Each structure stands twice: as structure tokens, then as C-alpha cells.
Amino acid sequence: MARARRPTPTGRAPRESRRAAGRHDRTAVRQALSVAVATGLYGISFGALAVASGLSVAHTMVLSAVLFSGASQFALVGVIGAGGSVAAAVASAALLGVRNGLYGLQMSPLTGARGIRRLAAAHLTIDESTGVAGAQVTPEAARTGFWRTGLGVWVCWNVLTLAGALAGDAMGDPRAWGLDAAASAAFLGLLWPRLALADEPHASASAVTSVHPNSTRRDAQMAAGLAAVIAIALVPVTPPGVPVLGAVAAAIVVGLWRPGQRLATQVGAST
Amino acid sequence: MSGTAMWVTVGIASALCFSLKLAGYLLPASWLAKPRLAPIVALVTVALLAGLFAVQTLTTGTELVVDARLPAVVVAGVALWRRAPFIVVVIAAAAVAAGLRMIGWCA
């Protein structure tokens, strides 16, 4: 039967909505590609920084292929570069990895993956894949966006990490090339969209986990400021790697106290 | 850190980070309904990144140091504010620090 309608996940779709579904799918693929390339380029700086921090090219590649989460990777090499212990490096990377678990909770029903595909979905669950999935208008397009972005970022990230690591290996003194400043800029770049200083639709998954109301944004800014002060204050008196972990206290304090939320409630009550 | 210690670090961190991702797929969906969970995870991420940024920018070993990294991150901040792509921000910061050190200023 030539006119038989193909069943789709949303039920039997008439031609018009099938065409729309194709359009949504193409949008997801296009976004996935651009995010994959942009994020992959960032892999160059990770590769160079990792090698400059004392990791071998092999260590660096295992991080990009297996750990595969940019902020955790940068944190790990940052702590190692500062002379931190195994425990401090692992703890920083793992604490930054907690948010991926939260993304997984959201992506699990979306992908509906079982068995080996579920392991693959978990591995590809990062800021970017969750962010692109969350930006789609239909569940089908979201699924497409998730898988294409995850796979695309993984491939680009690994290829360009290798390029960066090999280049970093040939560079010599990392400070002469400003690689220490590049690491600072990398952390600032990862932090920036989470503070929503500029209202850019960056693929950080803040858009997925929650709409960022002003009060939440203010809390994030306060936590960031407090965390920086705590970390700097701890540097002269604690071993390397510990100051960064101490900064988590800022999240606990602000998380329990919610100053931004209180302020918003007060303003709301007075008007 | 020795090569072995480095492999231990890389191995444990990779295993933990994958486990955290997988946990999201294995835990019941009711976890999503916990309203206080998401904001706290978001704040932990922000606090860690801010701590890493401050330490990476202003310290060497256990000392506070102001050097070429500071003007470099100011330039990075301006680039982010102007919505430059990440890679441009990182390269701009590296170029500023390398340039200042080359002319022997605030090494």
C-alpha cells in the first residue's frame, strides 16, 4: 500500500506534520554540528594545557575519550598543574561531574535507550548534548539533537585534543606561550554563561535544568564571588588542590541561605 | 606526580565521572521532582569553577601572585562580554600574557 502512513513515535502523522517533523530534525542536526565544531575547537586548548600541566599525551587522550566532560577535565589538569594530590584532583573532577547525573535524569526518558545504547547515552551526557536536546521543540528532534551533538562533540573534542596535546608537547615553556593565562580564561569561559552576565543562549544546560530567574542568577553570582574569596584565602594555608574544594562551601552557604531568593521575595512582598 | 599516580588519577576520575552520568539513567525519575536538588548542583558547579578561576589566575604554588595572567583575564572578560567564541577568548588571553612576558612586563 503506497499510501500507508508510517507510524511515528507521536502516532500516525498526516503529511503536513511529517514535513514539519523533518524541518525540526534538520534544525537539530544543524545545531548539533555547529555546537560540535565550536566545542571541539576548545579541545585544542585542553590538549595543550593538559600536556603543559605534566600529563602525557596518552593520559590526556584517555581523559578526553573516557572521562569526556570539559569542566571536569580542565579542573583535573588545573589541580595537577598546581601540584595537588590525587585525591584533590579526583574530587574536583567528580564534584563537577555531578551535574551530568542530573542531565542524565532528564535525558533518560527522552532517549529511552536500553542496554548498550543506554551506556552510550550516559557517556555522551554532557552540557552540550543536554543543551541542544533541551532547545528542540519536539521529542524526536530533541533525541536527534542529543545523539548528534554528543557524538559530534566526542569526535571533534578527541581529534582536536590530540592536536593540542601534540602541539603542547612541542611548545616548551608553557608560560612563555601564556598557557597559564589560557587556563584562567578557560575557567572564566566555563563560568560565564552560568552567571548569565550576558543573556546568550549558550549551550550550557542551564536552560534545561531550570529557567534562570533573576533570583537564581543572583545566588549564582554570590556563590561565585564567595567561592573565589574562600579559595584565595585558603591558598597560603592549605596544600594545593584543597582551596578549590573549600570553595564548595560557598555553594552550601548560598544554597541554604538563598540570598537572591530572599531579596526577590522581599521586593515582591513590598510591591 | 609520577606516571603511575597520574594513571591512577586519570583512571579513578574517569570511572567516577562515567558512574555519575550513568546514575542519572538508573535512578528513578522521581529524583527530578526534588526541587532543591537542581539549584544546589548548579551552585556547586559555579563555586568550583569560580574557585578554579581565582586560584589559576592569582596564585603560584601556595603564594598569591599578580602577573601577566591578570591583564590577560581582563581581556578574556571583555571578549566574553562581547560574546566572542570560547576559542577566541582563550587564545586572546594566551596572546596577551605571552606578549606581556615577551616585552618583559609584569612577567
Q: What is the pLDDT of residue A199?
A: 47
**Min Cα–Cα distance to chain B from A25, Å:** 24
Instruction: Please check the confidence at residue A128 and state whether its pLDDT lies above 60.
Output: yes
What DSSP state is assigned to residue A200? -
Q: What is the mean pLDDT of residues A181-201?
A: 80
Q: Where are the domains of chain B?
A: 1-33
Q: What is the pLDDT of residues B69-96, one digit of tens each?
A: 999 999 999 999 999 988 899 999 999 9
CB-CB neighbours of A238 under 10 Å: 16
Q: In Å, how far from its chain's centre is CA A29?
A: 19
Residues A156-184 have pLDDT tens digits of: 999 999 999 999 888 888 889 998 999 89
Q: Is the torsion defined by CA of A160, B14, A245, A108 positive or negative?
A: positive
The DSSP symbol for A68 reads: -
Cα–Cα distance for residue pair A228/A36, rounded to 1 Å: 30
What residues of chain A, 232 to 261, have a C-beta less than 8 Å from chain B?
232, 235-240, 243-251, 254-255
DSSP3 helix / strand / coil % (chain B, rounded to 5): 75, 5, 20
Closest to A207 measured CA to CA, from A132, A111, A110, A100: A132
Say yes or no: B90 contacts chain A, CB-CB below 8 A.
yes
User: Could you list the pLDDT tens digit for every one of the 107 residues in chain B?
Assistant: 888 999 999 999 999 999 999 999 999 878 777 777 778 888 999 999 999 999 999 999 889 999 999 999 999 999 999 999 888 999 999 999 999 999 987 66
Mapping DSSP to helix (H, G, I), strand (E, B) and coil, where does residue A115 land? Answer: helix
pLDDT at residue number A197: 57
Pick from A216, A212, A224, A223: nearest CA to A264: A216
Contact A231 B54 (CB under 8 A): yes
A39 vs A78, residue with greater confidence: A78
As a whole number of angstroms, the distance between CA A183 and CA A203 comes to 20
Report whether A93 contacts B17 (CB < 8 A).
yes
pTM: 0.82
The mean predicted confidence, pLDDT, of chain A is 85
Q: Give the residue-averaged pLDDT of A129-137.
A: 90
